[in-house]
Every structure is written in structure tokens, then in C-alpha cells.
Structure 1
């Protein structure tokens, strides 16, 4: 059997390297995203700047009201693009130099993060680092489906793969 088969059968450990997923804002999508990401080997964190909103945290997880330290091992997913603190949270995340930053949202509508970041004086080159939409195009509708598509897209991107059924 190959090393890949041994990992798939659970007889050898996977070594994906350090991977961190920071879900921004407590939401139904972040609940699923945190659970799925932990299951596939990510170190996970939930950042919710508003302590009054820390009510939708899955069991076994805690919410941080301060953005954790970010580096090139981190992927940041903003799970609510309607929040007033969207711009300030994204600006702080971009300053941490994570590997990847994305904002959930319908691709048929303009992303509100662009205007929010421009208003804060964030350079266009940093604004361009923010991915939107995020995840694989699987027609997801429910929070767990959105989380699954998002996580699959992150894994594909980390592994330099296009996602989908193209090999």
C-alpha cells in the first residue's frame, strides 16, 4: 500500500503542516466551518468582536473577542458581510499577513468589503487579496453546505488544485 493509502485507511498520520482557520463572526456558517475544519486537521479559532453576539458557538469551542495573531499558516473566513465592523476586522486581518482571506457573499452582488476597506484607506493591493466569493461552486444553500464548500475550496487552494472533478 502507498503512503497515501495508509493515511486514508487511518494506519498512518497525515502531516498537512500547521494550518489555522479563523472564522470571523459567530454565525450558523461559522458553527459548521469550525467543526468541519477541526475534523480535517486545522487549528481553529472563532473571532467575534461583539461579546453580546457570542451565543452561536458550537460546544467545545470558544470565541475570542480579540483577533488572534495571524501569519502565513492562517486562512481567514468572514462569515457575515452585513456586519458594521466588516472593514475594521478585514483591515486588521490583512495586516496580520494571513495566507488567505475571504468573505462570504453572493457573487451576483457587489462585495461591501471593498467600499469598507477603501473608506479606511486600505491599499488596493491589499483589498485585492480578499477573495469573494469563497469556496467551490457546488450550489450550496444551507450553512453546513456553505461551510463544506468553503473548506473544500481552502483545501484545494492549499494543495494547488483547481477543485471540482478536474485532476
Structure 2
């Protein structure tokens, strides 16, 4: 069975919104290599509407390097209650029950399914225990305000720390999995 791997940037005060504002000073070769490891270990992306639209705008017009080409060529499964279609940028709109659709995706042969962004979709994934690994990239930044990590999750979810990766820039990636 394929693993669903979530990768999320977060400040030390728990903010996840606007990483393009507070993240760039820390994006370096170590960051790029870790990110490439996650991407190249996957063969599909799972995204919510906002992340899909933002990524399509940011990545869709780029080309020429292996990371960008991989990002652009992968199938993207998009969970949205507002989009009518997601056929641009290799998108596939998830129709019907998201938990059922993601379960079926995980049952298909292939590599990991990588999920970027945190929001409404996470509430469904956590509720149905569908995330196999969380990669929380903790940036040494205080944002002060913005959307917080996993706002609105109502169930207590216990996790096991699987790995800690520390970059010279100060980023620490905390990798968690469901508690056994």
C-alpha cells in the first residue's frame, strides 16, 4: 500500500500561511535536497484547492530542471468543494467522498502520495487516519499572525516521532507517524 506523506512549512509560533514571505531566507541546498527526496519518492500529489491553484500558478510556467519537470508532470489529485474541474496542470478533481477516494489512491500500486499545504483537507485525512507521515518543517521564524497549523482539528491525534532532521539554516524537519 502506498504511503500518504504530508509536507508542511511552519513557523515556531505555529503559522503556516504565507511561507513565501517568511521562508526564502532559509531555502538553501539542504532544503532543496530534502524537498527533492520527498518529491522523487512520490509519483502523485494530493492537494486542496488553494494549494493546487497556488502551485499551478507558481510551477506551471517553469521548466528545465529535474525537480520542476517532476513537479509539473506528476498527476495531482485535488480535493475541493468549489472547483468544477481541475484538469489544468495534470489535475484530477476528487469527486464524492474524499476519504474514500484517498483510500482508493493509497491502495493503487505506486510510490508515495505527497501532500503539500495544510487546511480543510487535513481535517478529513486526520479524522479517517489516512496520513502515514507528517514532515513538519519548523522554520526559525516568528510570524506573529496567520493561519495556524491544523486549525479546526477537533480530535486528539497522538503521533510517534520517526525522525528529526536539522539544517544549518536553522530549519528542523520533524517527521511523525501515527502512534502505534
Same fold (TM over 0.5): no
Range class of TM-score, shorter chain? 0.3 to 0.5
More strand by share: 2
- Higher relative contact order, structure no. (Cα contacts within 8 Å, ≥ 6 residues apart): 2
> Structure 2 length normalisation: TM-score?
0.40
> Structure 1 length normalisation: TM-score?
0.42
